[in-house]
Amino acid sequence: MKSRIFSFLIFAGLSLFLLMSSMSFVKNDELVFADDISNQIKALENDLSSIEKDRLKAEKELKAAKNSQATQMALKRQYDNEISTIVDLISTTDELIASYDIEIGNLETKLTDLRDERDEELESFDDLIRMTYMYGDESYLEILFGARSFADFLTRLDMVSYLLSYSDGVVVGLNEIEVELVETEKELIDSKTSLEDYKESKSTLLSDFEKKSAEANALITSYAKDVKSAEDALKIIEDSKKQLEKDIAELAAKSKNDGTPYSGGVFIWPVNQSRNAYISSGWEWRTNPITKKKEFHNGLDIPAPAGTKIFAAANGVVEKSAWYGGYGNCVIISHGGGIRTLYGHCSKLLVSEGQTVKKGDTIALVGTTGMSTGNHLHFTVYEKGSTAVNPWNYLNG
């Protein structure tokens, strides 16, 4: 677009040079041809209108994408489209501003030339007034018939004809110049108003560009962060799950023939010993609060204040009392017969591996370590060493 303007200005300058002799009101040989500039402005304004329509369309698509809960990357593409139209608008507006600057320069030069021409005509008009004053109140007929000879008559006739023609020309010329002055001054005012409007529009567009760019960058940053967080969280959970399954299988193999039978009976509640306790996540399918993915929850999440005591659900031997991946600080107790219980996300561990515990002994304190979004106890029951089962089958009433 800029190269088109540059080529046009060169052409306009050459055209102006060739037409200079016929333009009585133009005296600056560097002046750009005004009519061509006006046509260029109209063409650019048409371009601006077309791009503005594209921008409005892009905005509608952006809103539609948001309303339809489109993905963040789809939203980013919509932002890119809108930013592209804003850049086009700014570029076209810059060209319009440059063109109006040229047109205003042309008009100001034209006004100067018209005023000079008017001053010259006024001087001629003053000469006419002085000439009329010299002849006093005599009419043109009196001047003619006052001739003292035929030769004097012809001389007076030429003078009267000149005076009549000259006076009419001066008056008509002055009127035409005044009309053109008024029109040019109005055109200059309109051009200056348009120039200021486009400058204000450019300022708004630049502000909009910065805003949309910041939103788009924030969207990408948020998207990348969310994806990374979700991937990291998923990996931690998957790694923890694999490690947990491996450790449980090893523990199951180790104690498969340990000769310690499960003594039977129901478990006590591991936190407040109340079956009416609030369960935030049960033995069920749910959306993981961290990865936002659908998964089966293999235990009970029991919310409780940080530091609340956690009790051994039944008699047994502590097989694990350490950090355990996604479960954070974790305790695993073997109750014999392949039955195990897991207590996850503890803030503090109060037992050691190999320690014998009795039902109701305090083994840890409630916390939110590992992959956790708040203080609670994650409680899982395993049969056959590593198969998670519904804890409700073992909890007392």
Tens of pLDDT, residue by residue over 318-347, are 999 998 888 889 999 999 888 999 999 999
Residue 167: phi and psi, rounded to 5, are -65, -40
Alpha-carbon distance 252 to 256, whole Å?
Answer: 6
Number of domains within the chain: 2
Task: Tell me if residue 12 falls in helix, strand or coil.
Answer: helix
Is residue 243 domain-resident? no
- Return phi, psi of residue 363, to 5°: -115, -20
The predicted pLDDT at position 279 comes to: 87
Q: Both 163 and 18 in a single domain? A: yes
Q: Is residue 250 part of a domain?
A: no
Q: Where residue 349 sits, what CATH number does that domain have? A: 2.70.70.10
165 vs 108 pLDDT, higher one = 108
Average of pLDDT values for 1-15? Answer: 40
DSSP code for 373 = S
Q: What is the pLDDT of residue 6?
A: 39
Residue 17 has pLDDT above 50, yes or no: no
Does some domain include residue 241?
Answer: no
pLDDT above 80 (res 143): no
Q: How far apart (Å, rounded) are the C-alpha atoms in residues 348 and 363?
A: 9
More confident residue, 368 or 143: 368
Alpha-carbon gap, residue 319 to 334, rounded angstroms: 6
Confirm whether 237 is domain-assigned.
Answer: no
Is a pLDDT exceeding 90 seen at residue 278? no
| Cβ-Cβ contacts under 8 Å for 139 (sequence gap 6 or more) | none
Query: What is the pLDDT, as a whole number, of residue 31?
Result: 40
**In this structure, are 220 and 282 located in the same domain?**
no
Same structural domain for residues 116 and 37?
Answer: yes
- Whether residue 210 is found in the same domain as residue 343: no
218 & 296 share domain:
no
Whole-number average pLDDT of the chain: 71
Q: Which structural domain, as residue segments, surrounds residue 33?
A: 2-228
What is the per-residue DSSP string for 281-328? B-SEEEE-TTT--EEEE-SEEEE--TT-EEE-SSSEEEEEEEE-GGG-
Inside any domain, residue 248: no
Share of the chain above pLDDT 70, in %: 52
